[in-house]
Structure 1
Amino acid sequence: MESNKPCCAARRDQTEPGVLPIPTLSSAQVNSAGKQVRGSLIRIEGGVFRMGTDAVDGFPADGEGPVREVRLDSFLISPYAVTNAEFRDFVDNTGYITEAERFGWSYVFHLLASEETRMRVKDVPQQVPWWLVVEGAYWAKPEGPDSTVDERLDHPAVHISWNDAEAYCAWSGTRLPTEAEWEYAARGGLAGKTYPWGDLLKQDGKHMCNIWQGKFPVKNNASDGYVGTAPVNAYEPNGYGLYNLSGNVWEWCADWFSPGYHRQTSLSNPRFNEPQERRSMRGGSYLCHRSYCNRYRVAARSGNTPDSSTGNCGFRVAADISIE
């Protein structure tokens, strides 16, 4: 597998530089809804697992290995990515304005934008030209001003930056999962498998996740049923009752991203805390395809700048057992 192909997401600084201050939430804004969010989490019992991969279909430059035994304490994690409905509750309760809104634009995949929106686009990143810089695109208008999430309230919220995800976590009394927690949970009790359900992409000819089918980035056959995002509970859950850990949307993790992660972090509750350019993302998205971004494997890793937002990146939340 070639290791020089970038992730299927785009960075905000590929188009223009800029840093915006991140609004903080007062204690008064931490709503009682947080208790409901935490109550929906699934307990994952701690243990030891073999993290990472040395498989030939991986991306060595991403630091997917070497494989090592990692020990984790028990933790809580959401069975789903945060939905549009859940993120709307957060916004309604806090008045939070996402970074995509404050920057005034976000990245929209070219096949999902309307013809009218495409005609208004003034800029695309040269490295990943399938992403359009769409003014007015954000979580509630994911393809631009002429779109809505009204019929997608059970889909994952997208155009969410790492900083936005952190703000949601502060409101809900949760946190982002570490990379190790994410991978341990994604494996669902299976040791050394490629996907949350095993080593074969399909089971008995049935699609198990929402990824790209066809010729990327020009033709998506959508034989899995979805061109863009799917509902957060689409497909079958893994052995721990968690959904869509392969494909659908990239999910932010707590760690900073380092290609040396497996050599630089502890064997017990690892987390990479040294500030870097990017934050870690896991799981791949509906744009992933074996020919280009084969990062919907459980051991695959990627990263993006914490202020970046795209139409294929969301998050799920986790929490310490001690908060119960």
Structure 2
Amino acid sequence: MTDEPVRPPGEPPFPGMAWAPGGVFTMGSDRHYPEERPARAVRVDGFWMDLTPVTNRQFEVFVRETGHVTTAEIAPRAEDYPGADPRMLRAASLVFTPPSGPVPLNDVSAWWTWSFGANWRRPRGPNSSLRGLEDHPVVHVSWHDAAAYAAWAG
């Protein structure tokens, strides 16, 4: 493997971007959750990255201009989840719920709650809104949503 250059390959493609040099890191773990196994070395190429997260305001412009529908806004298809309870095949996302005290670290339900109707427009669940959160980072977006936004934004 060749070493990744630490210096950026020229000027940023857009203002407000920083170069993240690539490298090798250990992905996964052999000591924690089974689905993280096996730990393995992975190389990531360098890339340009915005200095600030994408805000709800920016994401809203993207959605308005493209008609994009996020993963959290789409009900799962029964054929993709054989044997799933049909009542669960509704658009939803996980909402962070701060625990009142110490919780076991091997149970994500101690601080995340599955919420039907939670999505980027309703970040705290179906009865919430973006009011006052316009300049906060967008949440409830999948890799596919982020890739669509990045392609649109250039």
Match of 2:103 in 1: none
Write the deviation string for residues 231-263 of structure 1: whole angstroms up to 9, x where unpaired.
Answer: xxxxxxxxxxxxxxxxxxxxxxxxxxxxxxxxx
Unaligned 5+ residue runs, structure 2?
1-12, 31-35, 76-90, 100-105
Q: Structure 1 residues 145, 71: closer, same or farther in 2, change over 3 A?
A: closer
> Does structure 2 retain, via aligned residues, the 8 Å contact 1:136–1:145?
yes
In the TM superposition, residue 87 of structure 1 has moved relative to its aligned partner by 0.5
Give the residue type in structure 1 aligned to 2:68: Y
1:85 alignment partner, SS class: helix
Picking from 85, 108, 120, the partner of 2:57 is: 85
Write the deviation string for residues 183-221 of structure 1: whole angstroms up to 9, x where unpaired.
Answer: xxxxxxxxxxxxxxxxxxxxxxxxxxxxxxxxxxxxxxx
Picking from 68, 76, 79, the partner of 1:96 is: 68
In the TM superposition, residue 88 of structure 1 has moved relative to its aligned partner by 0.7
Match of 1:111 in 2: 98
Unaligned 5+ residue runs, structure 1?
1-37, 113-125, 174-324
Written as runs of structure 1 = structure 2, the 5 A alignment for 1:198-209 is none
Match of 1:170 in 2: 151
In the TM superposition, residue 94 of structure 1 has moved relative to its aligned partner by 1.2
**RMSD between superposed Cα atoms in Å:** 3.3
> Does structure 2 retain, via aligned residues, the 8 Å contact 1:100–1:138?
yes
Q: Does 1:42 align with 2:42?
A: no
Write the deviation string for residues 51-93 of structure 1: whole angstroms up to 9, x where unpaired.
Answer: 436xxxx974353759x9x875xx4221012111111110111
How many residue pairs match? The answer is 113
Report the TM-score, using the length of structure 2 for normalisation.
Answer: 0.58
In the TM superposition, residue 110 of structure 1 has moved relative to its aligned partner by 2.6
Report the TM-score, using the length of structure 1 for normalisation.
Answer: 0.30
> Does structure 1 retain, via aligned residues, the 8 Å contact 2:18–2:51?
no
In 1, the alpha carbon distance for the partners of 2:112 and 2:50 equals: 29
> Does structure 2 retain, via aligned residues, the 8 Å contact 1:106–1:159?
yes
In 2, the alpha carbon distance for the partners of 1:157 and 1:71 equals: 25
